[in-house]
Each structure stands twice: as structure tokens, then as C-alpha cells.
Structure 1
Amino acid sequence: MTNSFILLTGCSCGGKSTLLEALRKRGFETVQEPGRRIVSEETAGNGHALPWVNLRSFALRAVEMAKSDLTSVLNAEGLVFFDRGLIDAAVALEHSGGQTVKETLDGSRPYAKKVFVVPPWKELFAKDAERRHDFSTAVQEYDRINRTLDDLGYTIRELPQAPVSERTNTILHECGVL
């Protein structure tokens, strides 16, 4: 869609949401992870579209939410940072036995060519009420996302396991802001 849409993805509990918050505090528009929003809504409601109950339903909702997120910021000025997004949702949908990532994207490239990826970071990983999978499952998801990004022709920039300020500065420097 636009080169100003910057995707942050990677391993669960690798610091993406913390990075997004740091970018928001610096004045950038941000879009929170669809999955966390869905889990919050579903646990408050009927709880059907949860990844540990029905991964395909969850992934379909995540795809629709991510598409809606992209549409909602089409007129934004400057960079917009996404915590996960359509590619992550499409990977989950394909993994659940649904349509392929390429079918979901339908030839579109929703984010800037360079994607920032947080690596597995075991010391940060923690289960909670909304994150019930274990570290090895998170690493498998990370591997699927990286393979997909590579297959789609994105440039993967893996962020270092470093303090939030250093990671944030790396992102902004590589986006030409610093």
C-alpha cells in the first residue's frame, strides 16, 4: 500500500508492543496487534475465536481486523508503525489450514519493503492469560513469519536484543527519521 507503513513482527514476547509504545511516545502513529485485541474481545464475549480454541476463526478475524487497520490509516501523514498485521494474520490462517498467504494478500504489498523483526528472546518470554503457547511454539511461528517475508520479497531487518531506546533508534535511523 505505502512505504510509510512499517511492520514490526517476529517472535511472541520479543518486545514488539514495548517498541510500538516507545514509537507512539515519540509522536508516531501506531496500530496495535490485532491478535491481542481479538483475544481481549473474545475473552469478554463468547470466546470462540481464540487461538487455543479455534485457530482458523481467530486467524480469519485477525485478517479482517488487519485489513481494516490498513484502511483506517490510509490518509495518515508520516510513518505508521504496526505491531504485527496482515502478513502475520495470513501466516496464521495458512497454518490453520485456511487459504495461502498469497491468496490472502491477493498480490498486494501492504507494508514498506523493509520489515523489522524481533528475534526469540527467552528471557522476555512469559505466558499469561492471553498468551498461552510455549516458547518453542513461539519460535515455530517466528520461523514461519520469516520464511513468508522472505518468500514475499521483503527485506528482513532483525533487531538486536538490546534496550528499547536502542531498538527504537535503530528503527527510526533505518526509516530515515534520525
Structure 2
Amino acid sequence: MTTARKTTAPKPPAAAVAADAHWAATRERLRNRTRPIVRLTICDDRDAKQALAEAKFNEQRAKDNAERDPSNKVEQAVLRAATDEFAQAQTAVDEASIVLRFQALDRKTYKELLAVHPPTEDQAEDGYAFNLDTLGPVIVAASSLDGITEEDAAGYLDDWSQAEAEALLNTAFGVQREERMDLGKG
């Protein structure tokens, strides 16, 4: 019969850690990290969005032309005008937009929310680990940095189009899985 042996990673001596300024600074930075934040931008002004798309296309075309002949003053002037047009169009879209911000919950809170919203039998059979109908408004509200309430979220999810409701849910759930690490690079 074999017995399982519990092993723990050895802790470096406190004096060694204190003496290593690099590690001390790294530990401090790790302690001070903020959880990920993502934005969902909603713009209902189709004309402003279309103007922005056209301005972006015109700016790219002007850049291409200006790069082909950098000494051509006319092409350089067209590029400056196209860049200004793009900036104005972007400002118009920004002013017409609603930006919602969502921050990842701490892992413990997220897991607790999943646990109190178990899937229905049908959802479990379909492979769901939680009840999206009950958890959706909760996760939107809990991760919102803009004060969205559960009632607000439930209303949006019921009233908005399918695609827009899914975008809201995907943003609130997606920030929980946002990864800012590059493993194996260095």
C-alpha cells in the first residue's frame, strides 16, 4: 500500500526575498494588479457609423496614395484632409455612443455566483454548467462598473434584439475569462 505524500513548494528565505529588489518589486506589482475591464460600445446612429466607415476607407486610400509618392504635395494634402475627416467622424460616433464598462469579478465571487445558479435539467443535458436565464442579469449587474442593476439587465436582455442581448451577455461573461498573460514567451 502506498501513501500519498503531500508536497509543498519550498518558500524562499524571507531575507533572500527582501534582498532581491527585483522580486520584491515584482511581488508588489502582482499584488497591485487590477482585474480586467472590457468595454461594450453601443451606437444607434447608423448615419454616424456609416460616415465613420467611409472616412476610414477614404483615409486608408489617401495613405496608400501618399505613401506611393511622398513628394506629391496634393496627395499629402488629401491625406491631411482625410485624416481630419476621419477624426471628425470618430468624434461624432463617440458622442452618439453609449459605452458600458465591465470588470472581471474575483474568482471566489464568480464561482459562488455560478454555484447559486445551477442549470435546469434540460440545460444540464445540453451541457450547461449554470442557468443562463437566472445568472445572466446577475453577472451583468455584478460586473458592471456603470451601475447596471439586475432589474436593468433583465430588462435589456428581454427587450433588446437577440444579437444585442447576446453581445451584452458575452461581454459580461467574457471579461471573466479575459486573459492578459503570455505563457511561454520571454
Q: Confirm or deny a common fold (TM above 0.5).
A: no
**Normalised-by-shorter TM-score class:** under 0.3
Higher relative contact order (CA 8 A, sep 6+): 1
TM value normalised by structure 1: 0.24
Larger radius of gyration: 2
Q: Which has the higher strand share?
A: 1
TM-score of the superposition, structure 2-length normalised?
0.23
